[in-house]
């Protein structure tokens, strides 16, 4: 099945674990070129290498590039988006699969947890979208996707801050 992703470039945050990792691998299988953005250099490099190793075996596989960045910092975001566009000659799709969560009751939350969740779940997608839209406008069919887990959308017990920030 052709999803039209062959040779499309995807900037993906939250790619190194969980759902984001599964999305990265699926995109590569569909032929997309992916810039994997993460602040953990080892994990993001490992995933990019894994995808590129598969490309050697299956030529229809997309390519991957690792970009190490703390996307909660505006100057890091600017640089990460610029590098992402530079690596594969533009950006067609931005997928935000990164989420910060704490599974504890509100009385056990603290200001540091709140700040981290606001930075990761609210500020980072805003900052990236603000930068990436400049590149997306250059493309005919561009997309922005924000991945929101069920618990973040509905805010069950212990998840109210995640729901509020996502």
Q: Classify 15 as helix, strand or coil.
A: coil
Task: Tell me the mean pLDDT in the region 40-59.
Answer: 90
Q: What is the pTM of this model?
A: 0.86
Name the strand (E) or helix (H) holding 104: none
- According to the model, what pLDDT value does residue 106 have? 62
- CATH code at 114? 3.40.50.720
pLDDT grade for 153, boundaries at 50, 70 and 90: low
Task: Tell me the mean pLDDT in the region 70-97.
Answer: 94
Residue 100: pLDDT over 60: yes
| Domain tally, the chain | 1
The reply to whether 76 falls in a domain is yes
Nearest Cα neighbor of 34 from 93, 109, 96, 111 is 93
| Domain membership of residue 121 as a residue range | 9-165
- According to the model, what pLDDT value does residue 103 have? 60
- According to the model, what pLDDT value does residue 98 have? 80
């Amino acid at each position: 099945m052709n999803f039209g992703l062959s040779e499309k470039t995807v900037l993906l945050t939250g790619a190194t674990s969980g759902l984001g990792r599964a999305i990265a691998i699926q995109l590569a299988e569909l032929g997309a070129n992916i810039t994997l953005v993460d602040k953990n250099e080892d994990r993001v490099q490992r995933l990019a290498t894994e995808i590129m190793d598969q490309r050697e075996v299956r030529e229809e596989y997309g390519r991957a590039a690792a970009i190490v960045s703390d996307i909660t910092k505006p100057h890091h975001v600017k640089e990460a988006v610029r590098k992402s566009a530079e690596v594969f000659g533009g950006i067609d799709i931005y997928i935000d699969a990164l989420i910060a969560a704490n599974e504890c009751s509100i009385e056990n939350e603290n200001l540091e947890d709140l700040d981290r969740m606001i930075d990761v779940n609210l500020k980072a997608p805003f900052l990236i979208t603000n930068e990436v839209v400049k590149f997306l406008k250059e493309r005919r069919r561009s997309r922005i996707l924000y991945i929101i887990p069920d618990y973040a959308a509905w805010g069950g017990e212990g998840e109210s801050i995640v729901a509020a920030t996502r």
